[in-house]
Chains A and B, each alone.
Chain A
Amino acid sequence: MIGKQLSRWTMAWFAAALAFLLAALGLAVLGGAGPGLWSSGPGLAVLHLFALGWLCQMMLGSLIQFTPVLAARPLALARLALPALLACSLGTLMLAGGFLALDGWEPGFALLAAAPLPLALAFGLALAMVGATLLAVRGWRQDAGRAVLAALLALAALWVSGAGMALALSGSDTGMVLLPEGMPLHVLLGVGGWLTLSAIGVSYQLFPMFLLAPDRGSRLRDAGFACALLALALVLAGLAALLLGGGTARLLPLAVLASVAAVALYLAEARRMWQARRRPQPELNMQWSRAALGFLGLSALLGGPALWHGGAWAEAAVFAALVGWLSTLTLAQMVKIASFLTWIQVFSPLIGRRPVPMVHELTDARAAGRWLALWVAAAAGGTAALLAGFAPGFRLAALGLLLAALGLCREVVLIRRLRHLAADRRPALLPPIILPPSPRRPDHDHPRTAGA
């Protein structure tokens, strides 16, 4: 079987995540979110469609795909990938709908109270697949593995904090102790602990591969990870303190400080990898990952003022992290992963037997680069608009993000259909765009070429 270590559901995870991305951005364009609106029902709905539906699902789908590469063994319990995806999508929809209760939509309270259940199932299944695979190879001994394992711990704590607050907002006494002090902890766990630590872990493995840079650890990396672990421990301690009736006044500034130090050290490590590369002209995904890293630095710089002043500073810091750092990185790598998976499915059986195109030929780098440039410009504009509290500017930025996302979705479809290859280089049979090829139909694994 072709690529026995490949997850069959990666494109389905990506498609579901992209649908949530378009929904979130569409609602933002219509005014559902903007400066000062993030604690409203629609604002929280848009935020969670984006953070949970888009970024979290992309990260889970990517980890399910990437973990076998990291562990050099097939994913444990791989059959759970589809149930996890369905549960995560359902939980996201219920949570987003539930937030509308805050603006008076009565059925929303029941949704808000129930949404943590499918999300617990989704996260539990993902933890079982990814965690079991990494633990089986003692993944904590690898740089990437230990970062992903720490991120999974943050994901579990993220659920605890989120479920508690959702229950409290739905009217239950459970979780009331988390409001409002638990909010910054929840944001740090989600943006920093879960998403950023996962992204950093994956980048330890993928950046050297894509850049052809020596993959060796360094003191910088060890120091950065130590700071990240310290930040995570402080946030977990803060969460425990809140649940036990205490406060987070002393822990939170220390956690932010450790996070900023971890980011600074990681950026220095990424710069070292870039400079040590053997690939003179890195591909599109790595070119635009640099912009993402710039946003990571920006969000860390905004972290201090966000903690002290809150308000617009906090909105801008979180936006820069979610949209500028995590989404730019995700979108840039998504184009690459879609090309690579498509290439494996279509052309890998022909290696050594006949000439095959290169992976990069499946992508129109110029077109994808234009959409990524628009995304980055709009992310910068959105960050500035939030800092200035300028709602029309934010909606314009959201429109730019939506157009860029639509353009990149189109690019992924074109990649899956091999539209950037000349017709005579395309096989007669192509794998489905989203769903996995049927294991009973070997045609997808061994497609016939047009001339064969």
Chain B
Amino acid sequence: MADLRDLVRDRLREVLDPETGRDLVAMGMIYAIAEEAGHVTIVMTTTTRGCPLTEMLRQGVEAAVSRLDGVCVVEVRLTWDPPWTPDRMEPA
């Protein structure tokens, strides 16, 4: 059976950055995924700290992951330390 963290990561590949059309994982915006007994914690960032989409992206990640089987609670934490840079993007 696949690790729930892998399922979460796969689900986040379905959430697209509306500017570039690339998913949040490929954009390098997902810093960490942790899971314990159905409690999923995601640490993510945005391309700039003042991004107007910040809260909507956080809620979107929460909504996307909470629909996964086996997930009881989703906690999405935002951080800008370290700040996002284009070097974090996966090769196209």
Contact = CB atoms under 8 A, between A and B. Distances in A.
Whether A associates with B in a native complex is yes
Interface of A: 2-6, 68-73, 205, 209, 212-215, 278-280, 340, 343-344, 347-353, 356-360
B50 A352 contact: no
A72 B45 CA distance: 13
Nearest to A359: B18
A211 to B, nearest CB: 9
B50 A351 contact: no
B48 A348 contact: no
A129 to B, nearest CB: 15
30 contacts: A3-B53, A3-B55, A6-B52, A68-B52, A69-B50, A69-B51, A72-B48, A212-B20, A212-B86, A213-B86, A214-B85, A214-B86, A278-B86, A279-B20, A344-B52, A344-B56, A347-B18, A348-B18, A348-B53, A349-B59, A350-B60, A351-B15, A351-B57, A351-B60, A352-B15, A352-B60, A352-B61, A352-B63, A352-B64, A358-B19
Contact of B52 (A69, A212, A358): A69
Nearest to A343: B18
B61 A71 contact: no
B55 to A, nearest CB: 7
Contacts of B81: none
B41 interface: no
A68 B63 CA distance: 26
Contacts of B69: none
Interface in B55-92: 55-57, 59-65, 85-87, 89, 92
Contact of A351 (B49, B56, B65, B85): B56
Contacts of B47: 209
Contacts of B86: 212-214, 278
A135 B92 CA distance: 39
A70 B52 CA distance: 10
Given A6-B52, A69-B51, A214-B87, A352 B59 contact: yes
Contacts of B49: 72
- Indicate the member of B49, B50, B53, B63 with the most A CB atoms within 10 Å: B50
B33 interface: no
Contacts of B64: 352-353
A71 B18 contact: no
Contact of B53 (A71, A72, A212, A344): A344
Contacts of A279: 20
A349 B89 contact: no
Given A2-B56, A3-B52, A353-B63, 11 more contacts: A3-B53, A3-B55, A3-B56, A72-B48, A72-B49, A209-B47, A213-B86, A343-B18, A351-B18, A352-B15, A357-B18
- Per CB-CB distance, the 6 closest pairs between chain A and chain B, nearest first, are A351-B60, A352-B60, A352-B64, A72-B50, A69-B50, A348-B56
Contacts of A214: 85-87
B21 to A, nearest CB: 5
B18 A5 contact: no
Contacts of A69: 48, 50-52
Contacts of A359: 18-19
Contacts of A360: 21
B16 interface: yes
B20 A5 contact: no
B16 to A, nearest CB: 7
B15 A71 contact: no
A394 to B, nearest CB: 39
Contact of B56 (A72, A205, A280, A349): A349
Contacts of A280: 92
A352 B68 CA distance: 12
A353 B59 CA distance: 10
A351 B89 contact: no
B8 to A, nearest CB: 12
Nearest to A212: B86
Contacts of A72: 48-50
Contacts of A358: 16, 18-19, 21
A72 B49 CA distance: 6
A3 B21 CA distance: 20
Contacts of A71: 50
A352 B44 CA distance: 14
Given A214-B87, A347-B18, A359-B19, A5 B52 contact: yes
A162 B54 CA distance: 41
A278 B52 contact: no
A373 B7 CA distance: 47
A205 B48 contact: yes
Contacts of B57: 351
Contacts of A215: 48, 85
Nearest to A65: B52
Nearest to A6: B52
Nearest to A280: B92
Contacts of B85: 214-215
